[in-house]
Amino acid sequence: MSIDEANRATCMPADPNKAGDMRERLIDHWFPCTTVDAAVGTPVGSGRSEKAIFPWFASRPIAQARAAVLTTLLPNDDGLREFVEAAVRTGSSEAFDRLADRIADNYPGRTPVVIDIFSGRGIIPLEAARVGVTAVGTDLSPVATLAGRLLADWAIRDWSTEPALPFTSSQPATFDLSSADRLVADARLLHEEIGRRTRAVLSAHYPADANGRQPWGYLWTVSIPCDQCRRRFPLIGSFVLRHPYRRTQDEGQSMRLVLNGDAWRVEVIAGPTDAQPTYSSAGKKGKSARCPFCNHVHTLETVKAKGFAEQYLDEPLVAADFATDDGDTKKTFRVLRQDERDAAVSARPELLPKAGQLSAVPDEVIPPGNVHTVQASGYGYTNYGDLMCSRQTLLFGTLAQQIRVCHEEMLAADISADYAHALAAFAAATLVRGLRYATRGAMLRPHGKPDGSAQNRVQVGDIFRNEAGLSFQFDFFETGIGQGPGTWAGLTETGMSPLAAHLRGRRGRPARLRRENAMALPFRDGTVDAIVTDPPYYDMIEYSDASDFFYVWLRRALVDAQPDLFAETIGTEIAPDLQNKDDEIIVRRVFNGGVRHDREFYERSLSRAFHEARRVLRSDGHLVVVFGHSDPDAWLRLLGALHDAGFVVTSAWPSRTETSNTGVASIKVTVTIGCRVATSQRPVATAAQVDREVATAVKAAVKQWDADGLALTDQLMAAYGPAMEVYGRYSSVLLPNGEQASLDRYLTLARSSVRDATALKLDQLPLETFDAPTRFAVFWQRLYGRTDVPKGEARFLAQADNLRLEDMRGALLTESRSGFKLRLDPPDSFSDRSSTFEIARVVAKAWEEGGTEAVAAVLAKADRQANDAHLWAVVAEIVRQLPASDPVAKALTAVQRNAGTIGTMIQYAAVAAEKEADAQAQMVLPFEEELS
């Protein structure tokens, strides 16, 4: 049997009735990519309601998870495609029913088991539960496990037979419960009770005005002593409170700093201000603090040192109210009354009762060297309780206490333990949502413009300005105990609607969510039908570090309600009271003791997890991995781990799952990768054969991706799938010297095949006829334009043309901290050996300096003829990729228009250059004769 015949035999569909055969699934042949792309921007497909219930990181849209689960469980039947698309696009009950029935028929006599071994907030288990299978989600993080239980377990159960809660509403419900689920109604009632009790306990700490109104919130800052004049001054980054808005004749509001002897205070004024911040950027060296008394400037290092020396002092600045006019929701600011100022600084959170054996205020130490994730730790705030001012800490400690007390009262009222646990957890989820708008990273965000031309809304900023870490700043906002965004009452209002919307899609059976290690799964061999998972994204997010802030507060709220997650010490010697990080499968940016989470650790650990997946899968089971990352090295590690664990990629389907940049974890395209366990009869192939097959497969895929409008950068990522499909067909791929061809050879080939298949429109010239640096530069410009490109991506792009990145530095690329950028300015020198792309850049500069004659002289020196098709093709390509206003585009456009004249002048320039060379030779000759 030839290699080709063996390959075809390996890929033939197996008999579905034969025990132990690997039956083909729908995902092996089709995935609703276009439908997913369209659905991610809709309420049904985005998962916005699900995301609003509990915050988690790098959450993919629900449409992709739904499509992945359905196509993994369904057989390869074209007749099912329209129902899958309807379920993904609209959440159609009819489509779900039809598909659930077909899934049940496909597994006669038993219920299939689907597991997500990196379940995160539980979206994949939720979608598996909706079609009636046994869905299980495991995650190392207790916080993620809780999020999954909220979404895919408790929200799916029927609580209609539970006794009434032992609470009564003290105010008219502002949320329409006429059609709401029992869970929503009771969650609403519990939230009201917790809010009422908290307000009663803390009313003295948040004084009301004469009419009984309480501020929406308070703006604070930190003061430090000046090194020169010794007077204490505030660190204020902005004096703007509310921008003006001409349409409503709103002048806006600002603060003004008033100095009086050795003291300072702020005033609130109407309109904008020209006051300069006392804490602001100072160029490349970061921010600095300027003393308003003596103008002495303190460096950022000095400011940080004062924090570690405990010289910071929290200072309340102004109160934020709502306008008093009926129906007016405009937020206004005013100076604090003395009783408000006294109450703000007198809070004593340490007097709160303990939460079991835990202190009421989180005293867990922030791991050293963690400033990139918890930025405040770089300013002397060393434990999680320090991340808030005392009154904020008192508020959250009181909320946690009231959640525990209400949980005890529900149990005493014969509410089932499961229901009491669930309701307490939903209240704790609201506390976590509140944490996102608290701490020293919650900034006041006045929208609008100083000239009043834009609407002037005012909000509190999320402490997660990206998904990778908690932000920090000295002037921060504290929400109060009344009404308004970020308050308990406000969070209740914004939380019940998404919960009700989520429950309207309830169907199937509850999923089971467990805290487990993916490298040691608690399941028997060969018992799982499918594993659908979204593994950690390499070095994007340090999930446990970023969520430890949630964890320390959840421990205090749910120590009794969720003891398996929060009652025990689960960390390591480095951080015993925090979440387990030693077994977290990520690449960690900073090594601060314990396990070194480098790239090798990531690949090794992911391989162990996939080995476990292979162990628990049935012989006909499927593994489906959803993954996205801009760094090719992340893909090399992931695909290497899959290959090492004995899986064969059977399909790869790209989806545009993000529509905007949301921070470091933003991925515009993720790829759903279908895998099966590799058979033992795979043939051996030569590298030359596999090279041809990979190139053919990728180029065929590019045609479809072009039709679907997939961007070039996204095609590079998606190309790994077809390459791995081919590579995995063989037990060995041998080089001519007998050695095994490496995986990265085919990832590089996949990328170069995308480039070769892409219509670069270079006058229809074969791409291989251009010099390698020009191919590299033209493709780079098509992909990235003038933006910075990470070094890892740049390295892989160079490898596609067998180039060394070091050789491209200077000639084609400029390097900075953020990566590499393509040069369009002329190189320092050029010759007849320079690349076509370099000559095109020299031509642009020559036109600016001397017009047609200068361009002709350049081309003559570079030995380029007037009919050099490659040069004119590159010139046209550069013009196409640049905006018309770009100076290089203007110059090259002019060169194109004058090509005929330039062509004629090249001959004259060449003759002139030859005469000049002869003249110089004649001048040198007598001197040489004299020497001889």
**pLDDT 10s digits, 571-591:** 565 557 888 888 888 777 776
Residue 925 pLDDT: 43
CB 217 within 8 A of CB 460: yes
Phi, psi of 381 (to 5 degrees): -90, 100
Q: Is 157 exposed, middle or buried (0-12, 13-18, 19+ CB in 10 A)?
A: middle
The β-bridge partners of 319 are 218, 334
Instruction: Annotate 661-691 with b (16+ C-beta within 10 A) or e (fewer).
Output: eeeebbbbbbbbbbbbbbeeebbebbbebbb
508 secondary structure, DSSP code: S
CB 813 within 8 A of CB 820: yes
CB 586 within 8 A of CB 543: yes
Q: List, in order, residues 6 or more apart from 432 with CB less than 8 Å away.
A: 54, 55, 550, 553, 554
CA-closest candidate to residue 601, choices 586, 621, 612: 586
| 373-418: pLDDT as tens digits | 899 999 999 999 999 999 999 999 999 999 999 999 999 999 999 9
**Residues in the chain where the model's pLDDT stays below 50:** 1-22, 174-179, 326-327, 659-667, 761, 921, 923-932
Report residue 107 as tokens: 């597994």
Residue type for 99, please? L
CA-closest candidate to residue 821, choices 830, 829, 833, 812: 812
Report residue 259 as tokens: 């100095």
Report residue 848 as tokens: 């600016």
How far, in Å, CA of 84 to CA of 66, rounded?
9
Give the N- to C-terminal CA distance of the chain in Å, as an integer.
77
| 190-225: pLDDT as tens digits | 999 999 999 999 999 999 887 888 898 999 999 999
Question: Please, what is the Cα angle at 700 between 696 and 705, to 5 degrees?
Answer: 140
Residue 666 pLDDT: 40
Q: Compute the half-sphere exposure of residue 22: CA atoms within 13 Å on the CB side of its CA.
A: 21
| Distance of alpha carbon 19 from the chain centroid | 42
Count CB neighbours of 803 within 10 A: 17
Residue type for 107, please? Y
3-158+504-674 belongs to which CATH class?
alpha beta
Residue 572 pLDDT: 60
* CA dist 194 → 167, 276, 460, 562, 563 (Å): 10, 42, 23, 18, 21
Catalogue the E-assigned strands of 455-603: 458-460, 476-479, 512-515, 528-533
Report residue 915 as tokens: 């005469």
How far, in Å, CA of 773 to CA of 780, rounded?
10
Only one residue has tokens 């010239």, namely: 765
What residues does CATH 3.40.50.150 cover in the chain?
3-158+504-674
> What does the chain come to in residues?
932
